[in-house]
Amino acid sequence: MLKIRTIAAAVWLEILRKKDLYVLLVLLSVLLITLVSLNIFGLGGMTRYIKDIGLLLAWIFGLVLAIHISSRELPQEETSGTIFPLLARPITHAEIIIGKWLGTWSIVVVATLCFYILVTGVTIGMGGAINVLATVQGFILHATLLGVISAIALAFSTRLNSDAAATLSFVICGVSFLVVPRIPNLPVHQQGFSGNALLFLYNILPHFEIFDMRKRIVHDYGPMPTTVCALVVLYGIVLIALTLFVAFLLYRKKRFSRGAIQG
């Protein structure tokens, strides 16, 4: 466990060294300006819009950060050649995978927490109300999903360069968010080969929509039952574990050569 924490800490130090936190500051500034500008357009008293747009941007920014950071960690180690001294130490491939995932995921979670705090602060500052328990549940589910997305991007990056890994990760996220939830409602769902193919995709692809509590937070529906929330978190943990296991299988027999991957 110490080796995993050390690798995760190294990811944090690398992020700080490259001043990637400036990206977070820019995103926070964009989010703040967007939320405050709603008052300019006469929506200052309608805090529901503030929560809705603020949480939407928090989801978009969190997804982009998770994929951007996770998809480049392994390729940049290989391109720079730092993977060789890392592997020369008594560190297993599994520890590298888990350590890299833990580092990237924790960074994205902290950034997302900043987004939630900002949205909550602006909402309360403009006279709105926030259901604390629902918001906490929403953040926990969001953080769990970011763990899944980080694991997916990391798994792709075990065999692809950073750009290709990021592109495929965005495709998976787009399909899981926009297509998979609508498959049961498609007319072709029960027709022949197309219907069977869609049903296969519906069952094999992750269901990201169940992690999204924005509507409950925005419309003040209150928190979901604790048991349901726990089951969704458990589903996310299973997805993370399976994805990291696949990443390990892809990475453990990989042959490295200096400059072979251009991230």
Residue 152 clears pLDDT 70, i.e. is over it: yes
Residue 140 clears pLDDT 60, i.e. is over it: yes
Q: What is the C-alpha separation between 11 and 47, in angstroms, rounded?
A: 37
Mention every residue, 6+ apart, whose C-beta is less than 8 A from residue 188: 194, 195, 198
DSSP 71-128: HHHHHHHHHHTTHHHHHHSS--HHHHHHHHHHHHHHHHHHHHHHHHHHHHHHHHHTT-
| Per-residue confidence (pLDDT) for residue 258, from 0 to 100 | 54
Encoded tokens for 74: 């392994």
Q: What's the mean pLDDT in 230-254?
A: 92
Task: Render pLDDT for 33-68 as a digit per residue (tens, 0 to 9).
Answer: 776 776 655 554 567 777 888 888 889 889 998 999
DSSP the chain: -HHHHHHHHHHHHHHHHTTTHHHHHHHHHHHHHHHHHHHHTT-TT-HHHHHHHHHHHHHHHHHHHHHHHHHHHHHHHHHHTTHHHHHHSS--HHHHHHHHHHHHHHHHHHHHHHHHHHHHHHHHHTT----HHHHHHHHHHHHHHHHHHHHHHHHHHTTS-HHHHHHHHHHHHHIIIIIGGGGGGSGGGGSHHHHHHHHHHHHHS--GGGG--HHHHHTT--PPPHHHHHHHHHHHHHHHHHHHHHHHHHHHTPPP-TT----
Quote the percentage of the chain above a pLDDT of 90: 33
| Per-residue confidence (pLDDT) for residue 261, from 0 to 100 | 42
Q: What is the C-alpha separation between 128 and 79, in angstroms, rounded?
A: 49
| Per-residue confidence (pLDDT) for residue 31, from 0 to 100 | 73
The radius of gyration computed from the CA coordinates of the chain, to the nearest angstrom, equals: 20
CB–CB of 233/144 below 8 Å?
Answer: yes
Q: Residue length, the chain? A: 263
Q: What is the C-alpha separation between 237 and 160, in angstroms, rounded?
A: 24
Q: What's the mean pLDDT in 164-173?
A: 93
Q: What's the mean pLDDT in 9-19?
A: 79
Mean of the per-residue pLDDT values of the chain = 82
| Per-residue confidence (pLDDT) for residue 147, from 0 to 100 | 95
Domain ranges, ordered by start, for the chain: 2-252
Residue 259 clears pLDDT 50, i.e. is over it: no
Nearest to 211 by CA among 157, 173, 165: 173
Task: Render pLDDT for 176-219 as a digit per residue (tens, 0 to 9).
Answer: 888 777 777 765 555 666 667 777 777 777 889 899 999 898 88
